[in-house]
Amino acid sequence: MSVNIKPQVSDNKELLTQIKEEINSRNVKMISLGIPDMDGRYKGKFLTSDYLISNAVKKGSFLCDILFGWDITDEIYSDNGLFSCWGNGFPDVYIKPDLKTFRYKPWGQNTATMIGDLYQINGELVEVAPRTVLKKMIERSEKLGYQFSFGYELEFYLFKETDQSIKEKDYRNLIPATSLMNTYGLVEIPEVQIVFDEITEYLKEYGIAVESFMYEAGEGQFEMSVNHSDPLDTADKVMLYKTAIREIAAKHGLTVSFMAKFDENMSGSSGHIHQSIMSIDSPDVNLYWDRSKQGMSSVMENVIGGLLKTLPDFTAMYCPTINSYSRLVTGSWTGVNVTWGVDNRTTALRVISTDSKSIRIENRIPGADANPYLTLAAFMASALYGIENEIDLPNRTDGDAYVQEGLTPIPLTLDKAIEVLENSEVAHLYFSEEFLNQFIYTRKWESEKFRKTVTEWEKKRYLERV
């Protein structure tokens, strides 16, 4: 929610009044109304503020359902059994704006943004829409009396390139914003500092609180952390944060990449998730803390048990692209096996257990390329599965989890991750069949596209030798 809209207001009429006041005081001309697509990208339409207020707020904004009928490059899927396909004729759907998501865009030209939910013409929610998937998981957790809180760490690369120069270079020899690997470095680089000062100030005004930014382990790589919030607000913020950083960087002639591994010789970009659970009846009490033990509660033990038991099941949601798996290698600062540890950055799950307020679980598997709505939904499904079935806490892993024998690996290719998800009983218990069919098909499509590709590595290795 924008800082300009009072967070305690829940009545739509009062919210609409506040939005009108914001539009008038800020002289907002255009509002982008969008949803997350299957890859977590912000997609939709630009509407005039007059049209949004007079029409779209009540009736929604209509657009073609092709948003779920094509891949990340806008190539249309070939399966006529999908939600959106040639066989259905690509009918209209409509976005109904969520008034709580109105945000004035301070770096724009008299513009604002809103996020909505996607409906079919008959008034039913679109089951395959990631925001719908997450909202249904939230409803499920609330029925059980639980309220989740999530924080997000996102790593990315910043290049001294434009979209045009990248294409002209054929994606090779890109110039990073910094030429040194300087993790945790505090020497200010003026041309970089100016951009990040602008990003943090704009995001603050935009209603997205950034806790920190730091230099990461690759040339031109950085990390910014989004403050914790409820699941839907966190996912909304992460999607808008990625869009915002791209737009602000472009104003400086820079390009941002959230690709999980842009170069085999550079550090991968993670999307680590921090999570805790509260009771709806006592939202200020962290259920992960056991006062008598001054540490982990039985709820936390069950959640860890559920997360680890289903980690292979949901790897495809945490790591949804072919490239995601180039990041999942030994010594990559991400887990590669089904493990947990206390403050251990070599395990898949890192337990941070310092006090009753900050005790939490960090999931180190997701990459920066993952769809935040689906990663959070998968995280919640695993946690609820652990609680509902009282899954026992597995043995803790101490030391270097990369070199220890006898540990169960997570799927290390997209093909394997798809196979495990498709056969997962837990996935079919917590997600709708329509969504799973759509998601699995899109991932198989990605895999098949790659399978037909001849890579530079293959040419260099085999062209003259076989």
| 251-294 residue pLDDT tens | 999 999 999 999 999 999 999 999 999 999 999 999 999 988 87
Please state the domain extents for the chain: 12-126, 138-417
For residue range 406-416, what is the model confidence (pLDDT) as tens digits? 999 999 999 99
Which CATH number among 3.30.590.10, 3.40.50.620, 3.90.79.10, 3.30.420.40 corresponds to the domain 138-417? 3.30.590.10
Tell me the per-residue pLDDT of 198-256, one tens digit each, with 9 for 90 and over.
999 999 999 998 888 888 888 999 999 888 999 999 999 999 999 999 999 999 999 99
**Domain 12-126, CATH among 3.90.1300.10, 2.40.50.140, 3.10.20.70, 3.10.450.50:** 3.10.20.70
Task: Tell me which residue of 366, 358, 286 sits closest to 325, measured CA to CA.
Answer: 366
With cut-offs at 50, 70 and 90, classify the pLDDT of residue 7: very low
Instruction: Show Cβ contacts of residue 396 under 8 Å, excluding neighbours closer than 6 positions.
Output: 340, 341, 342
pLDDT of residue 322: 97
Give one DSSP letter per residue of 69-113, joined into a string.
TB-TTSPBP--TTSSSSGGGT--EEEEEE-GGG-EEETTSSSEEE
Q: What's the confidence (pLDDT) of residue 5? A: 54
Single out the residue of 377, 364, 362, 366 nearest to residue 316, CA to CA. 366
Would you say residue 2 has pLDDT above 80? no
Amino acid 269: pLDDT: 95
Within 13 A of 220's CA, how many CA atoms are on the CB side?
19
At residue 11, the pLDDT reads: 66
- Residue 191's pLDDT is what? 79
pLDDT value at 309 more than 90: yes
- Give the separation between CA 355 and CA 294, rounded to whole angstroms: 8
The confidence score (pLDDT) of residue 291 equals 85
Q: How does residue 1 score in pLDDT terms, banded at 50, 70 and 90?
A: very low
What was the pLDDT predicted at 293?
82
pLDDT tens figures, 366-382: 999 999 999 999 999 99
Number of H helices, E strands in the chain: 14, 16
